Structure formats: structure tokens, C-alpha cells
Amino acid sequence: EEEVTRLQRLVKAVEQDKANHMREAKTSLGALEEEVIVAERKAQNARKAEQVATKTVQELRVRCRDLETELSMLMDSQWQIKLRSQLEKEVQAEGDKRIKQTTDLLAAKDEEIQRLKNVDLATVECASSASDTELQRARKELSRLDQ
């Protein structure tokens, strides 16, 4: 009977340990969820920045066309062709650069969000699995002694 009492206490201790692990996992999960929210906000801000960059590129293209029009009145046609080509390349290069920077930032934020989500799941699964194994062992021992 002492052994049964001891095993009952052990089961209770394991259950308490499991509850403690679950509380810790929930606390960790809560903190990680907050980090995910922050990362998602940053990703959203990066998307907005990408939209602004795209709009800026469009505005630059419009401005280039306006400048080309002014230049066409001042220069001969051959010089105008060379200048147009150069301006288009510069505008395209600047636009591509800004879009790439924003896209890289978005990719990094998306990777961070995914990493945090994976850490959340792994933390909860690990805590639950360890406690379940200990609880099963104690219950088997109690069952064996009851027989």
C-alpha cells in the first residue's frame, strides 16, 4: 500500500510537472506570437515601402518623359535618341534596385515569420511529449502494483 501511495504521489508530481511545462510552453508561445505580430507588421510596412518605391519609379518615368520632351525641343534627333536610351536605363536601374531591396526585405521578414512559427510548434510539442512519456510510465507502474 505504501508503494501505491508513493506511485500515486509520483503520478501527481508528473501531472504537476506536465502542467508546469504546459504553462511555460504557453508563456513562450505567447511571447513568440508577439514576435510574429511584430514581424508581420514589419513585413506589411516593407510591402507598403515596395508600393511607394513602385510609385516613385512610375513618377520618375513620367518625369523622364517630360524631360525628354523638353530636350527634344532643344537638341537634334540623334542626340535625343542617345539621351533617351541613357535615361531609360538609369530609371530602369534605379527602379530595379529599389524593387530588389524591398523584395529582399520582404523575403527576410517572411523567413523570420516562418522561423518563429516553427519554433512555436516545436516548443509545445517537445514539452507535451516529454510530460506524456513520464505520465505513461508512472501509470503503468501503478497498474502493475494494483494487480
pLDDT tens digits for range 66-109: 998 887 777 666 666 787 889 899 989 988 998 999 999 889 88
pLDDT score, position 39: 93
pLDDT score, position 126: 61
CA 94 from chain centre, in angstroms, equals: 27
The mean pLDDT of 109-134, rounded to a whole number, is 72
Would you put residue 75 in left (φ > 0), alpha (ψ -120 to 50) or beta?
beta
Domains and CATH numbers, the chain: 2-146 (1.10.287)
Three-state SS string over 15-64 comes to HHHHHHHHHHHHHHHHHHHHHHHHHHHHHHHHHHHHHHHHHHHHHHHHHH
CA dihedral in degrees (94, 101, 57, 45; nearest 10)? Answer: -160
The mean of the pLDDT values for the chain is 85
Is 42 a residue whose pLDDT tops 90?
yes
